[in-house]
């Protein structure tokens, strides 16, 4: 792309995306941001800085990784109880160090780890099968979508594992803040290159003939299932999930996993 290009095709709906702001990432690269005139999706120019941004796969400013995993563990347990078969396999896509997978196995859900780039430290013996012969009930992708330079292609890969994708990403606020006015652009680490509106999620769902459910903020579900939007909205709230989880418990996989890795 030429440096003076003022428009590009939207990576979600393929219509015109106009430059609406510029900002400095990694404290040294001046880059352009484009907003789609149709679906509101925001994308950076092609991220030539991305290799440098991932010199640390987990960026140093992500200090909420552990607390986020605790919150996600509670919410996912509740959503599985409400909408999915808990007695089958699940996959955490771009699962980082494997902490979330280990935590989900600890509470009794048969989760597996998949990450192309990050070492699996906490769930080493529970790597997902990628040969196409294993289907997963649900794929989770937490704080992943904003990293995708080619969202449609990557979502297509996710769907090869499961037709149900539960993911988190912050929706662009209604006032469409500029990069310096919204922390989620991640200017310090440069890893966030895609930002979604509710309409852009609907376009994605339509492309893949799926339903989309969202709590309007950060929790979203692409699925072939038809569920209650109200119930999804309620159960994707941490305080509600924590209360629900007080009522039921499943047998942990810790003992079985220990036997598996030591025999």
pLDDT at 1: 42
How confident is the model at residue 129, as a pLDDT? 86
Inter-residue contact 169 to 196 (CB < 8 Å): yes
Is 88's pLDDT higher than 60? yes
Q: In the predicted model, what is the mean pLDDT of residues 193-215?
A: 98
Residue 8 has phi, psi (to 5 degrees) of: -155, 170
Cross-sheet strand order for the sheet of 138-142: 110-114, 89-93, 138-142, 165-168, 219-223, 211-214
pLDDT digits (tens, 9 = 90+) for 150-189: 999 999 999 999 999 999 999 999 999 999 999 999 999 9
**Global pTM value:** 0.93
Q: Do the strands 110-114 and 89-93 form a parallel or antiparallel pair, or are they unpaired?
A: parallel
263 has pLDDT over 70: yes
Report the pLDDT value the prediction gives residue 2, as an integer from 0 to 100.
46
Give mean pLDDT, residues 17-24.
Answer: 96
Average pLDDT over residues 219-245: 94
Taking only the tens place, the pLDDT of each residue in 109-124 is: 999 999 988 999 999 9
Q: List pLDDT tens digits, range 182-198.
A: 999 999 999 999 999 99
Q: Helix (H, G, I), strand (E, B), or coil: what is residue 134?
A: coil
Residues 6+ apart with CB under 8 A from 241: 74, 75, 77, 78, 79, 235
Residue 57 has pLDDT above 90, yes or no: no
| Closest to 43 measured CA to CA, from 179, 136, 157, 135 | 179
pLDDT recorded at residue 175: 94
Cβ–Cβ < 8 Å for 222, 210: yes
- Domains defined for the chain, CATH in brackets: 7-53 (2.20.25), 65-262 (3.40.50.150)
pLDDT band, very low/low/confident/very high, at 249 (cuts 50, 70, 90) = confident
- Strand, coil or helix: 74: helix
* pLDDT at site 169: 98
């Amino acid at each position: 792309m030429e440096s003076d290009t003022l428009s590009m095709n939207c990576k979600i709906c393929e219509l015109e995306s106009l430059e609406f702001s510029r900002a400095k990432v990694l404290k040294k690269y001046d880059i352009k941001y484009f907003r789609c005139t149709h679906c509101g999706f925001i994308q950076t120019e092609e991220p030539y800085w991305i290799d440098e941004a991932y010199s640390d796969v987990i960026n140093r400013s992500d200090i909420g990784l552990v607390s986020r995993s605790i919150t996600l563990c509670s919410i996912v347990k509740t959503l599985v109880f409400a909408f999915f078969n808990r007695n089958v396999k699940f996959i955490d896509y771009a699962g980082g160090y494997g902490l979330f997978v280990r935590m989900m196995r600890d509470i009794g859900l048969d989760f597996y780890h998949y990450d192309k780039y990050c070492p699996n430290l906490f769930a080493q013996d529970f790597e997902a099968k990628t040969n196409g012969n294993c289907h997963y009930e649900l794929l989770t992708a937490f704080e992943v979508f904003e990293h995708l330079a080619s969202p449609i292609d990557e979502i297509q890969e996710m769907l090869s594992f499961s037709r149900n994708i539960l993911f988190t990403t912050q929706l662009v606020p209604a006032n469409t803040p500029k990069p310096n006015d919204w922390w989620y652009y991640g200017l310090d680490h440069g890893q966030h290159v895609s930002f979604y509106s509710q309409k852009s999620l609907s376009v994605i769902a339509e492309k893949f003939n799926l339903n989309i459910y969202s709590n309007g903020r950060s929790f979203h579900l692409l699925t072939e299932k038809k569920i209650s939007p109200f119930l999804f909205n309620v159960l994707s709230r941490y305080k509600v999930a924590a209360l629900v989880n007080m009522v039921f418990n499943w047998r942990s996989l810790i003992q079985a996993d220990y036997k598996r890795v030591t025999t």
